[in-house]
């Protein structure tokens, strides 16, 4: 009887030990399952974040591509505008040169005609700043008095010979054939300086200041 009791006690103890081991294993399994679930959640969150990053990168790349295309278009338009501006500037310069040449040709023709008819001929050349030299030739031996006037649009602001205030008209004389006289003219651009010269009894003549 005692032996049976001992055996029963041993069997019970073994069963309890097995139950405790199973309980510990079950707890470890639960913890492992909980850790696996947390890891799965973290992996899902990281995957979502990675997907958002990829979407944002794709959006940024598309925006950058669009901005680059717009920049290329603007650069092309700017180049076209610059080319058009250069063409217009070249045309304007050519037109100005042609107009200047035509004016010079007309002036030379008028001077030749005046000289042929024995009429007085005048030439104006720039000197020091705001200073011009009026030469007379091809007419009478002396002109007692002539008038130099401002021509509208020629950028000449006023005329003077000595220290008097600039005026629209300047009386000069006498002036001998083959001689010259100096006067002052406040002008913004010497290349555009044009003057009208009146010497009675002849018609007034317009003279451009030649360099």
Please check whether residue 176 is in contact with residue 199, taking contact to mean a CB–CB distance below 8 angstroms. no
**pLDDT score of 201 more than 60:** yes
What is the model's pLDDT at position 106? 57
What is the model's pLDDT at position 180? 92
How, if at all, do strands 180-187 and 156-160 pair?
A: antiparallel
CATH architecture of 119-208: Sandwich (2.60)
What is the model's pLDDT at position 113? 57
Phi and psi (nearest 5°) for 169?
-125, 145
- Give pLDDT tens digits for 65-103: 888 888 888 888 888 888 877 877 787 677 656 655 665
d(CA 125, CA 208) in angstroms, rounded, equals 8
Q: What is the mean pLDDT of the chain?
A: 80
Collapsing DSSP to helix, strand or coil, 201 comes out as coil
Q: Check residues 186 and 208 and name the one with the higher pLDDT.
A: 208
Given CA atoms 35, 37, 40, 41 in this order, what sign does their dihedral have?
negative
The pTM is what? Answer: 0.44
């Amino acid at each position: 009887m005692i032996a049976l009791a001992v055996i029963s006690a041993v069997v019970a103890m073994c069963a309890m030990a097995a139950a405790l081991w199973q309980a510990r294993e079950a707890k470890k399994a639960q913890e492992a399952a909980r850790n696996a679930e947390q890891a799965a959640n973290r992996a899902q969150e990281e995957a979502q974040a990675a997907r958002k990053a990829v979407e944002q990168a794709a959006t940024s790349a598309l925006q950058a591509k669009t901005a680059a295309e717009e920049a290329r278009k603007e650069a092309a338009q700017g180049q076209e505008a610059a080319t058009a501006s250069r063409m217009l500037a070249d045309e304007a310069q050519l037109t100005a040169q042609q107009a200047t040449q035509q004016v010079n040709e007309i002036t030379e023709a008028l001077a030749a005609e005046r000289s042929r008819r024995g009429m007085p001929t005048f030439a104006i050349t720039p000197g020091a700043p705001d200073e011009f030299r009026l030469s007379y030739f091809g007419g009478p031996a002396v002109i007692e008095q002539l008038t130099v006037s401002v021509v509208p649009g020629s950028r000449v602001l006023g005329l003077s010979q000595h220290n008097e205030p600039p005026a629209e008209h300047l009386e000069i004389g006498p002036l001998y054939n083959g001689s010259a006289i100096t006067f002052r003219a406040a002008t913004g651009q010497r290349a555009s300086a044009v003057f009208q010269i009146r010497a009675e009894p002849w018609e007034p003549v317009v003279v451009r200041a030649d360099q």
